[in-house]
């Protein structure tokens, strides 16, 4: 029998009832992981009750294929619910090795039209949602490490091209996803001492959150490959959850179809040093020299 890369690993996947999360859960199970399938059952805008039972359906699929999984319907934005999600893994499978933070929704709006409630809802599900479950998982792993037990744990976060370069009409979503990318860097730096890695993924996939805005682009098939199929991303998630990825941390991966690459993030340009304090009326040409000398940035999605 072919070895499976996640054999014996226990993984929580949030927002796993549909789209990318479902593909991750199914892919992890195929690779031998025992999966906690978390999904609250809300719609693409966070409306209640539109996909109730989604987590259970994914669990049924995994079990029908011979895998092990359990459903969980806790809200990732709730502090105590985050504790229950981690406890669900421990009660069901006796351990936890990875948390895949995938849950989220969008409320697309131009910045001039975005309301405080919409802004808060989007930041809450993405940023607080990435915090609660992972924070309780880290408590468990730290306690294991302090008790002298080896820890080989993973946090995998979900950012977006919108967070890395911005997206017209998605100011709240872009801000949240940019925050998640930076959170990943901090987690990687702080948690390495406990045997925990942290990486992020910016997938390009057809999901409920992308289908209304990018439907035409994301229906494209190239050379027989469905470029935007959520299943394309599942193997990278499985590898990142596995023991094989223990030396990789603090990275933001981008994946589109069969293309995989790393986001290189913010970095300094060559500098201009006057060796003295600048005067305001000197800075125009200096700033333009800096702008002209730097590598071009990716454009904001939707910008002309």
User: Catalytic positions, please?
Assistant: 160, 173, 177
Tokens of 1: 């029998």
Counted residue by residue, the chain has a size of 304
In a 13 Å sphere around the CA of 181, the CA atoms on its Cβ side amount to 25
Residue 40 CB burial class (10 angstroms; 0-12, 13-18, ≥19): buried
Q: Which residues pair with 167 in a beta bridge?
A: 301
Q: Using alpha carbons only, what angle is made at residue 50 by residues 47 and 51, rounded to the nearest 5 degrees?
A: 125
User: Residue 230: what are its φ and ψ, rounded to 5°?
Assistant: -55, -30
Enter the tokens of residue 156.
């995998």
């Amino acid at each position: 029998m072919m070895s499976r890369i996640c054999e014996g690993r226990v993984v929580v996947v949030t927002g796993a009832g549909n789209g990318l999360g479902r593909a991750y859960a199914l892919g992890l199970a195929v690779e031998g992981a025992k999966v906690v399938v978390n999904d609250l059952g809300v719609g693409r805008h966070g409306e209640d009750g539109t996909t109730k039972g989604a987590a259970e359906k994914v669990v049924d699929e995994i079990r029908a294929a011979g895998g092990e999984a359990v459903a969980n319907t806790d809200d990732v934005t709730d502090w105590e619910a985050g504790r229950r999600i981690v406890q669900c893994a421990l009660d069901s499978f006796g351990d936890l090795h990875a948390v895949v933070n995938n849950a989220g929704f969008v409320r697309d709006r131009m910045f001039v039209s975005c309301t405080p409630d919409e802004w808060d809802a989007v930041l809450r599900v993405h940023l607080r949602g990435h915090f609660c479950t992972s924070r309780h998982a880290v408590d468990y792993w730290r306690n294991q490490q302090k008790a002298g037990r080896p820890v080989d744990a993973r946090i995998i976060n979900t950012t977006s091209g919108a967070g890395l370069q911005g997206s017209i009409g998605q100011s709240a979503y872009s801000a949240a996803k940019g925050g998640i990318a930076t959170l990943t860097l901090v987690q990687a730096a702080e948690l390495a001492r406990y045997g925990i890695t942290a990486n992020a993924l910016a997938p390009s996939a057809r999901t409920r959150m992308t289908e209304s805005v990018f439907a035409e682009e994301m229906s494209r098939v190239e050379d027989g490959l469905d470029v935007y199929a959520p299943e394309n991303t599942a193997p990278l998630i499985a590898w990142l959850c596995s023991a094989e990825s223990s030396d990789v941390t603090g990275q933001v991966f981008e994946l589109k179809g069969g293309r995989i690459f790393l986001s290189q993030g913010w970095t300094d340009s060559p500098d201009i040093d006057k060796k003295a304090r600048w005067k305001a009326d000197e800075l125009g040409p200096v700033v333009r020299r800096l702008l002209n000398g730097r590598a071009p940035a990716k454009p904001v999605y939707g910008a002309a």
